[in-house]
Amino acid sequence: MSRSLFRAEVRDVDRRAIEDYGLPGIVLMENAGRSAAELMVNQLGASGRIVIVCGKGNNAGDGFVMARHLELRGCDPVIFLASPPDSLTADAALFFHVIRQSKIPWHDLSQVGRDEWIAAFTALEPTWIVDALLGTGLTGPAREPFSFAMEAINSIGCPVFAVDLPSGMDCDTGVPLGPCVRATHTGTFVARKIGFDQPASTAWTGEVHVLDIGIPRILRNDVCGS
């Protein structure tokens, strides 16, 4: 049976896939985003306008990939940025370039307050919101404008899909570190996170789905068990 992973183990899986097996990080990110988009459409029945809320790191990159694959599957994705485009990390910036070239609509909300975030969501009337703000590396309370985005997500009342884990949650304890997204479904990569084993975490994660990102089976079995 596959076991749940601590934060350090999650990072080590990526490192080993890249350094030991030669899989580029952008390939892992592409696989992650595609798997999440396919889950939303094929299993969760997502359709229509989907707002994808992105930070600036790998979680955001996953969200950008999701936007492209959701559009390919007939959805109407729109991206809300909680960080300026020039602050995106390397792989995320690459996939944001693809977004811009693909003419998928995006809006920079990194300089506005909570009320403006809520108004932006309300104006678009999304059928789903994707939380691609913050990943497993968070170790303290999220700051503005991420906290504004989280509060707005929780206030809209439509289904929420969290990428890897709900933003604001501690990966190792399953406890919110401050403001935290309350997800309907969480698509987590490679294996469940150890914090998800705490019963109280379900109030934030919703139903958890483990998604494949294409790491070799020998590596997955070594880290997670068979």
Please, which residues have CB within 8 angstroms of residue 29's CB and are 6 or more apart in sequence? Answer: 58, 61, 62, 65, 91, 95
Task: Give the mean pLDDT of 51-80.
Answer: 97
Per-range mean pLDDT, top range of 130-144, 148-162, 210-224: 148-162
First to last CA, the chain: 6
For residue 118, give both structure tokens: 């809520």
Task: Give the mean pLDDT of 78-98.
Answer: 95
**pLDDT of 1 higher than 60:** no
Cα–Cα distance measured from residue 136 to residue 84, given in angstroms and rounded to the nearest whole number: 21
Cα–Cα distance measured from residue 219 to residue 17, given in angstroms and rounded to the nearest whole number: 8
Task: Give the mean pLDDT of 20-44.
Answer: 96
For residue 122, give both structure tokens: 């309300």
Task: Give the mean pLDDT of 79-90.
Answer: 94
Nearest residue to 195 via CA among 215, 217, 177, 222: 177
Task: Give the mean pLDDT of 130-143.
Answer: 89
The secondary structure of 67-119 as a DSSP string is HHHHHHTT-EEEEEESS-GGG--HHHHHHHHHHHHTT--EEE-TT--HHHHHH
Q: Tell me the pTM.
A: 0.96
Task: Give the mean pLDDT of 117-146.
Answer: 92
For residue 213, give both structure tokens: 């990102």
Task: Give the mean pLDDT of 124-135.
Answer: 96
193, 4 Cβ separation under 8 angstroms = yes
For residue 93, give both structure tokens: 């910036």
E-strand ranges in the chain read 49-54, 76-81, 106-108, 128-132, 160-163, 185-189, 207-211
Task: Give the mean pLDDT of 137-151.
Answer: 89
Which tens digit of pLDDT belongs to each residue from 162-218? Answer: 999 999 999 999 999 999 999 999 999 999 999 999 999 999 999 999 999 999 999
CA angle 104, 102, 156 (to 5 degrees): 15
Nearest residue to 187 via CA among 26, 40, 13: 40
Mean pLDDT of the chain: 94
Range of lowest pLDDT (26-35, 83-92, 133-142): 133-142
Residue 222 confidence (pLDDT) = 87
Domains and CATH numbers, the chain: 7-221 (3.40.50.10260)
Residue 198 confidence (pLDDT) = 94
**pLDDT of 226 higher than 70:** no
